[in-house]
């Protein structure tokens, strides 16, 4: 098993993440028409117990046994490398990637799990500017997770990452023929993605976490907002130069609770595109989980729900 398994494409997914504060899980049902429906959502705080205890609890108290399990790694547990497309057959690409990235890692490439996402480029010109987003994690980390879930009789089928989880939300909100930028923040920092036609074209990490956003002092908060604005402008200007065939329709900010409004207001006066704050109810039916009407809860579960939005075999 590696990243982004392509087997059982239509299987329902139970997305799982093991953060510093506990275990998150979610399951979504895709509907033939209309919004996907959130069917299961849980958080088990670690309270000083091991990950294995939380995984055992998930096995006993959730429908995880009856679904395809996808573990979403945490920021810092993997690397993303953007490289130019390689002119080799798909069957030989992973081997070629080992040689291409071996000097970019600080550990032996033969101890790494490698997967990739294709960035299509300009389809109107036969794929000009194609590139790859390469995902790399240490084998021993993946193996440790596999062993832990296997012990609970919940073998993993998919290893996922927050960038593709955010991509899944972004794809639901895209305007046809236009790109969409999305910005989120959690305890580890900020994440900017740009998608087009459901594909991830850009991801950038921003070294500002959720706690830093919530400065009590207005001047300190404004300084943080200015840093965010500068990072966005640099990243989106670079994206426009690299992909001038894509017009980005808007920037969507993930649910952030009370700081969402001030951040939206600040960015709206400093960005060249519309800025909106996302309410998960626009993209998702969560009637079965009424606590998600609270925007702070939407912030807490944003990434794991995004991971659950994937189909079983989607990249």
Does the structure show a pLDDT above 90 at 123? no
Angle at 12 between CA 9 and CA 14, to 5 degrees: 120
Domains of the chain: 79-138 (3.30.1490.300), 174-278 (3.30.420.40)
Does the structure show a pLDDT above 60 at 313? no
pLDDT classification of 315: cutoffs 50, 70, 90 = very low
> Which letter does DSSP use for residue 255 in this model?
P
Q: Encode pLDDT of 243-282 as tens digits.
A: 999 999 999 999 999 999 999 999 999 999 999 999 999 9
Among the listed residues 8, 47, 48, 16, the one whose alpha carbon sits nearest the alpha carbon of residue 154? 16
Does the structure show a pLDDT above 90 at 314? no
How much is the pLDDT for 187? Answer: 93
Average pLDDT (281-299) is 93
Among the listed residues 178, 188, 237, 236, the one whose alpha carbon sits nearest the alpha carbon of residue 209? 188
pLDDT classification of 4: cutoffs 50, 70, 90 = low
pLDDT classification of 129: cutoffs 50, 70, 90 = confident
Checking DSSP bridges between strand 179-186 and strand 189-196, what pairing results, if any? antiparallel
> Which letter does DSSP use for residue 157 in this model?
E
How much is the pLDDT for 3? Answer: 59
Measured distance CA(30)–CA(13) in Å, rounded: 10
How much is the pLDDT for 130? Answer: 87
Average pLDDT (129-141) is 94
Does the structure show a pLDDT above 80 at 154? yes
Measured distance CA(175)–CA(198) in Å, rounded: 10
Measured distance CA(109)–CA(113) in Å, rounded: 8
Measured distance CA(292)–CA(282) in Å, rounded: 12
SS3 of residue 134 by DSSP: strand
Least confident of 17-26, 167-176, 305-314: 305-314
Does the structure show a pLDDT above 50 at 8? no
Of the two residues 17 and 12, the one the predictor is more confident about is 17
Contacts 24+ apart (CB under 8 A), 62-68: 62/14, 62/25, 63/14, 63/27, 64/14, 64/16, 64/25, 64/154, 65/153, 65/154, 67/11, 67/12, 67/13, 67/14, 67/27, 68/8, 68/11, 68/12, 68/13, 68/14, 68/157, 68/158, 68/312
Q: Could you tell me which residues are beta bridge partners of residue 180?
A: 195
Q: Encode pLDDT of 188-216 as tens digits.
A: 999 999 999 999 999 999 999 999 999 88
């Amino acid at each position: 098993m590696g990243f982004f398994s392509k087997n059982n494409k239509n299987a329902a997914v139970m997305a799982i993440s093991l953060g510093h504060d506990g275990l998150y899980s979610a399951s979504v049902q895709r509907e033939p028409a209309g919004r996907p429906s959130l069917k299961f959502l849980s958080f088990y705080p670690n309270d000083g117990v091991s990950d294995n205890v939380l995984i055992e609890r998930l096995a006993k108290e959730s429908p995880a046994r009856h679904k395809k399990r996808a573990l979403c790694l945490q920021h810092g547990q993997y690397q993303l490398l953007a490289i130019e497309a390689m002119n080799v057959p798909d069957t030989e690409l992973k081997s070629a990637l080992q040689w291409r990235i071996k000097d970019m890692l600080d550990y032996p490439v033969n101890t790494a799990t490698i997967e990739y996402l294709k960035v299509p480029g300009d389809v109107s010109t036969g794929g000009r500017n194609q590139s790859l987003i390469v995902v790399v994690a240490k084998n021993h980390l993946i193996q440790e997770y596999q062993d832990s879930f296997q012990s609970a009789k919940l073998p993993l089928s998919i290893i996922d990452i927050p960038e593709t989880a955010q991509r899944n939300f972004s794809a639901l909100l895209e305007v046809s023929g236009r790109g969409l930028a999305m910005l989120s923040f959690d305890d580890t920092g900020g994440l900017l993605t740009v998608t087009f036609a459901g594909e991830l074209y850009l991801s950038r990490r921003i070294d500002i976490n959720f706690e830093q956003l919530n400065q009590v002092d207005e001047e300190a908060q404004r300084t943080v907002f200015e840093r965010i604005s500068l990072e966005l402008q640099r990243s989106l200007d670079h994206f426009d130069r690299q992909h001038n065939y894509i017009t980005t329709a808007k920037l969507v900010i993930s649910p952030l609770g009370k700081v969402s409004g001030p951040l939206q207001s600040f960015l709206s006066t400093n960005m060249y595109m519309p800025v909106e704050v996302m309410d998960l109810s626009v993209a998702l039916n969560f009637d079965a989980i009424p606590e998600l009407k609270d925007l702070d809860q939407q912030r807490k579960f944003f990434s794991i729900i995004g991971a659950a939005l994937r189909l079983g075999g989607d990249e």
